[in-house]
Amino acid sequence: MMRVFVEGIGLLGPGLENWSAGREILAGRADYLPQPTQMRVCDMLPAAERRRAGVPIKLALAVGLEALQQAGRETGTAATVFTSSGGDNDNVHAINTILATAPREVSPTRFHNSVHNAAAGYWCIAAGSREPSTSLCAHDASFAAGLLESAVQVAVDRAVVALIAYDHPYPQPLHAVRPITAAFGLALLLTPERSETSLAMLELDWQPGPVTETMMQEPALEALRLGVPVARGLPVLAALAGSAATQVDLAYLTDSHLRVRVSPC
Amino acid sequence: MRSRRSGLSACQFEDVDLETYIAKVPALDAYAIRPDLAAHDCRNNRLAQLGLEQDGFAEVVAAAKRSYGAHRIGVFLGTSTSGILQTELAYRRLDPQTGQLPPDFQYAETQNSYSLAGFVARYLGLTGPSFVVSSACSSSAKVFANAARMMEAGVCDAVVVGGVDSLCLSTLYGFNSLGLVSRLPCRPYDAERDGISVGEGAGFALIERARPDARGMLLLGVGESSDAYHMSTPHPEGLGAQLAMHRALTSAGLVADDIDYINLHGTATRSNDTSEGKAIAEVFGSRVPCSSTKGWTGHLLGAAGITEAIISMLTIEHGFIPGSLNTQQLDPALAIDYRIEGSSARVERVLSNSFGFGGSNCSLVLGKTA
């Protein structure tokens, strides 16, 4: 069992403007009104980089910055774990289209933005962070994988870790084979010790065998949870929005799961 | 490496019209994926399976599975492009009426980055935690850090680490657009070096806790850092690289003079070798023999870290420092002990560097049991 503390939360999704508004919705104190994700302007990036950045980079930076600001920590001080099922899906589509026709002129920016760790690269530049950073993918379990790896880093390295999870839709024709319904990002700033700003304690266990996943009660939020790979993390945020200790079970693909006990501080 | 035979040849891959050299695994074109995993069939997973079938690796994992249980063995693998070639080729076969992908296209099993770990876990029958690390060319070095942490946290008793990257158009045309592809076989640390040779490869290692009576190779330390400088150009003074190497030494409880050989990232681009060479000079001076082995393998991208970790362990096992292929005239601006010729030497501890786009750096320290 690993124990970590949550000091900051970032959220951006359809009808989920940020954590302070989203918390009210996830706690059931405000209605959930689904609407297209309103990307917020993130002034972390210099203008030139901001022009080159696609949706996933903007999502990742927005939620990461929100979590660190809430914790009152400098952006350069946290190690980072980025996780996403897809990376920059608009860019993947564009590159495949360019490569299918002559001339095959993939621009340098398109190419370097195509790496799965593009968001991590932009974050480290914008945050001025030389701390370790990793970029993970586990298909529909990408959130659980990111949370597991983040908790392990906090527990073993005693590091302060920002977990930044994001996904956004593919254009057609890839959308038909991998439907992702919305642009969605969330971030958790995790620390090894309880502090005055700690919001909650998480106790995590990776366990073999399938599990009945914790679902969202509100049908539209449950549709979001299932519609976006990393939105599988929504039940953890819902538990963080509440005031009672809660157990959340996250499927880790088909044959294992991550059990998370959330205890508000 | 002793016979200085390179894996590079003039580029003949699909209908790629670039004048360059590549390291291609010819056996893949007519290679069959295991029938029960047919949905995963793509160049990258074929290469993964071919890798798993070498050197009795799958048998060693089967033995570990019997002693620990399938769910106690993790699978953490690196790749940069996974099965993207499958998507590149499918985009040429879109339905002319609907624009849809062909019905045989399998997204999750080929294109998705996780495809590799999903395939390998199924092939080996492992059910422990699994994910793909995709941080470009540092990916399959960083998985060693994941493995060490997961075992220390008690989540796993053993871990299959490694990496697989296979030739695809995205990589070849992408690196070409950045002016980073050489028309000649790559010349690491040469004064006239002008770019990489793209390669494909697969490598795996099984990591377990060291038992007191164990004999074999040891992961002594890992250091990770970020450049915070530029997406596709390393920090000019190699600050991120220095930090990764210092952290690896600290994690191993060693100092610079304890290292007997450094396997460099050494991609043969102007900027990488300058940045890394300056970082080596800063951390190690000119006291430690160094070389890049990419003249033999090409740049294996997401498989570079594991390949060079394995080469590093082979230098220890065989007491042989490999030198550098295609390098004629060393860059006089880099004051390090760069070896062009191979030589026999007692090698106890090796540092291996892997650096990737996005400023992702990882250094490993490997050694052997007493």
Report residue B214's pLDDT band, with 50, 70 and 90 as the boundaries: confident
User: DSSP assignment of A98-147, as one string?
Assistant: HHTSSS----HHHHHHTSTTHHHHHHHHHHT--S-EEEEE-GGGHHHHHH
Q: Using the predicted structure, report yes or no on whether residue A45 has a pLDDT greater than 90.
A: no
Helix (H) or strand (E) segment spanning residue A248: strand A246-252
Determine, for residues A128 and B228 on separate chains, whether the beta-carbon distance falls below 8 Å: yes
Determine, for residues B359 and A125 on separate chains, whether the beta-carbon distance falls below 8 Å: yes
Task: State the residue range of the domain holding A115.
Answer: 2-200+211-241
Q: What residue in A sits closest to B89 (Cα-Cα)?
A: A100
Q: What is the rounded average pLDDT of the residues B71-87?
A: 98
Q: Is A133 in CB contact (< 8 Å) with chain B?
A: yes
For B73, the token pair is: 């063995």
Beta bridge partners of A164: A82, A187
Q: Using the predicted structure, report yes or no on whether residue A49 has a pLDDT greater than 90.
A: no
Q: Is A51 among the domain residues?
A: yes
* 3-state SS, residue B182: coil
- Within 8 A of B92 by CB-CB distance, chain A residues are 100
Q: Is A12 among the domain residues?
A: yes
| B169 vs A104, A116, A206: nearest CB | A104
Residue indicated by tokens 């106690």: B72
pLDDT 10s digits, B240-268: 999 999 999 999 999 999 999 999 999 99
User: What total number of domains does chain A contain?
Assistant: 1
Q: Which of B231, B251, B364 should we substitute to test contact with A (largest number of A Cβ atoms within 10 Å)?
A: B231
* 3-state SS, residue B348: coil
What count of other Cβ atoms lies within 10 Å of the Cβ of residue A68?
A: 23
Q: Is A194 among the domain residues?
A: yes
CA dihedral of residues B131, B132, B138, B142 (deg, nearest 10)? 10
B336 Cβ partners below 8 Å, 6+ apart? B277, B280, B281, B284, B285, B286, B288, B290
Q: Which of B112, B114, B131 should we substitute to test contact with A (largest number of A Cβ atoms within 10 Å)?
A: B131
Q: Which of B155, B209, B239, B363 should we substitute to test contact with A (largest number of A Cβ atoms within 10 Å)?
A: B155
Q: What is the rounded average pLDDT of the residues B31-46?
A: 98
Round the average pLDDT of chain A to a whole number and report it.
Answer: 96
How many beta-carbon contacts under 8 Å exist across A and B?
198
Sequence length of chain B is 370
Q: Is B359 among the domain residues?
A: yes
Determine, for residues B114 and A110 on separate chains, whether the beta-carbon distance falls below 8 Å: no
Determine, for residues A120 and B94 on separate chains, whether the beta-carbon distance falls below 8 Å: no
- Within 8 A of A115 by CB-CB distance, chain B residues are 80, 134-136, 356-358
Q: Is A127 in CB contact (< 8 Å) with chain B?
A: yes
Determine, for residues A105 and B177 on separate chains, whether the beta-carbon distance falls below 8 Å: yes
A24 Cβ partners below 8 Å, 6+ apart? A30, A241
CA B8/CA B2 separation, integer angstroms: 16
Q: Domain holding B286: CATH number?
A: 3.40.47.10
Q: Domain holding A117: CATH number?
A: 3.40.47.10
Determine, for residues B170 and A106 on separate chains, whether the beta-carbon distance falls below 8 Å: yes
- Within 8 A of A156 by CB-CB distance, chain B residues are 149, 152-153
- DSSP type of residue B181: B
pLDDT 10s digits, B190-210: 999 999 999 999 999 999 999
Question: What is the ipTM, given to two decimal places?
Answer: 0.98
User: What total number of domains does chain B contain?
Assistant: 1
For B363, the token pair is: 């250094």
Q: Is A111 among the domain residues?
A: yes
Q: What residue in B sits closest to A174 (Cα-Cα)?
A: B101
CA B315/CA B320 separation, integer angstroms: 5
User: CB of B227 within 8 A of CB of B187?
Assistant: no
Determine, for residues B359 and A124 on separate chains, whether the beta-carbon distance falls below 8 Å: yes
Q: Is A250 among the domain residues?
A: no
Q: Is A249 among the domain residues?
A: no
Task: State the residue range of the domain holding B87.
Answer: 8-368
Q: Is B2 among the domain residues?
A: no
Q: Is B95 among the domain residues?
A: yes
Q: Is A234 among the domain residues?
A: yes
Q: What integer pLDDT is reported at residue A40 of this predicted model?
A: 86
Beta bridge partners of B130: B75
- DSSP type of residue B196: B
B349 phi and psi angles, rounded to 5 deg = -140, 135
Q: Is B231 among the domain residues?
A: yes
pLDDT 10s digits, B146-181: 999 999 999 999 999 999 999 999 999 999 999 999
Determine, for residues A256 and B129 on separate chains, whether the beta-carbon distance falls below 8 Å: yes
User: CB of A114 within 8 A of CB of A176?
Assistant: no
The pTM is what? 0.98
- Within 8 A of B240 by CB-CB distance, chain A residues are 130
